[in-house]
Structure 1
């Protein structure tokens, strides 16, 4: 499987962590995508379809057009890896998708929305141009240029939300402390945060704690899970396991075992 990543130049890099491209389907047929606290734009350049499967095996899949925006999810969902034949995407930073949406990010929470429903003909025209490009480098240039021209909301991002995003990526942050620090009521801070980021501050913090634990576990051949749980901000190991089951449907050990070179970040291979 070929995986390419491109970091856009300023100021777009303040909103977009990276543009990515996948080609060649891996040997496994399904992958779980676990929450990251961000939104994702996905474009299938091989077929004009993207299939999303339910958490419950055997349920019918949902079929979307070849350009899809995944909102900030609080649970995993399943994709069909046959679509990896040629696929591009945009991995937004937390809150970074907000200027491009034309609506509060919270309206896309736990949802998938077709690009045409958000952006009309611009979405289909962009996909056609990307499909027609002859090199991957050209595709990255086209997608980056399209995003630069697409920012719909010129309002500056709220500094209170940016402070919250940064703080919640550290262990043992508390929503009420952050709200008090930025001079907002708990309710007002929750509303502003959800509008830009797409999740409540509490859920975002839990997801970042889960992500931090995954990253630390990858650095160790035989992770000391009890120690990791304490260092990453969990009460104890059982608390950590509960979050892993909620966000990935897997225990911490099973999750790490399924992380292979043939899966993208935040993807878990299924048999």
Structure 2
């Protein structure tokens, strides 16, 4: 397995965290949960012209898409088939970073996937064909950078309130209300929510919850968890509040998640960002 990453410079770097590429990615588990991060992802399967997204209930039902899709900002988890990830690349946008490139508001993509062709037309097909034909990771990243630049909307900038709100709502250890942020940026609460959803894809409140959940995931990887302490440190009312959100966002209770993470660590398994490999009994 080989992983490659590339961080574009300005102006793309203000909106895109990185381009990524996996080659020869083979794992024992059949499915992964994709956990919410508050961001939008562009994903391109370079091996097969197909991607399958499974129902969160793991009932076996799935939707079939082309090999190039956009995954909107999710307020929960969904599942993917790991067999389709052998040769795959994508664009990991920063929170609120995708809207200038897709031609639609981010809230039109919330909790859903859409073929890139629906948004970019024939250019999406051409891009995938050129990426498949490219010989090296850097050639692929250069093609992706070119595609992003050609689809950027000008001027390439946020509504002034969004970066301020993202910074405030990302402070998971502070008790920041949506009303307080709206007042700080000088907008009515209704207008602020409308602007934020249009660029980020989630309501400010849901985005804040997702960032708090992500903070828990980070701390769980660093130290043996004391769930009551983590609940306080990450801004939850109590431990039961943390557990409810954790199950909602991951499909597992915190102890199940941590125990499986320990097993994967002992097996020296590679875990992708925001992926959670499903145990055999799930």
TM score, norm. by length of structure 2: 0.93
Question: Are 1:178 and 2:154 counterparts?
Answer: no
* Structure 1 residue 38 displacement after superposition: 0.5
More deviation in 254-263 or 106-115?
A: 254-263
Moved segments of 4+, more than 6 Å: none
What's the counterpart of residue 272 of structure 2? Answer: 264
What's the counterpart of residue 190 of structure 1? Answer: 193
Question: Are 1:70 and 2:71 counterparts?
Answer: yes
* Structure 1 residue 153 displacement after superposition: 4.8
Quote the Cα distance in structure 2 between the aligned partners of 1:228 and 1:56.
27
* Structure 1 residue 257 displacement after superposition: 3.6
Of 227, 238, 241, the match for 1:239 = 241
257 and 5 in structure 1: CA distance in 2 versus 1, 3 angstrom threshold: farther
What's the counterpart of residue 2 of structure 2? Answer: 2
158 and 81 in structure 1: CA distance in 2 versus 1, 3 angstrom threshold: same
Per-residue CA deviation, residues 225-267 of structure 1 (Å, 9 max, x unaligned), is 1111101110111100100000011112222344444221110
SS at match of 2:164: helix
SS at match of 1:87: strand
Per-residue CA deviation, residues 103-138 of structure 1 (Å, 9 max, x unaligned), is 111000001000000000110101000000011121
* Structure 1 residue 41 displacement after superposition: 0.2
Instruction: Please say if residues 175 and 186 of structure 1, whose CA atoms lie closer than 8 Å, have aligned partners that are also in contact.
Output: yes
TM score, norm. by length of structure 1: 0.96
Per-residue CA deviation, residues 146-195 of structure 1 (Å, 9 max, x unaligned), is 21222035363112111111111102221110001111111010000000
What's the counterpart of residue 224 of structure 1? Answer: 226
Q: Provide structure 1 residue ranges, at least 5 long, that are not aligned to the other structure.
A: none
Matches within 5 A, 1:1-271: 1-23=1-23, 24-154=25-155, 156-170=157-171, 171=173, 172-220=175-223, 222-259=224-261, 260=264, 261-270=269-278, 271=280
RMSD of Structure 2 on Structure 1 (CA): 1.2
SS at match of 1:35: coil
SS at match of 1:149: helix
Quote the Cα distance in structure 2 between the aligned partners of 1:197 and 1:133.
32
74 and 153 in structure 1: CA distance in 2 versus 1, 3 angstrom threshold: farther
Q: Provide structure 2 residue ranges, at least 5 long, that are not aligned to the other structure.
A: none
Matched length: 270
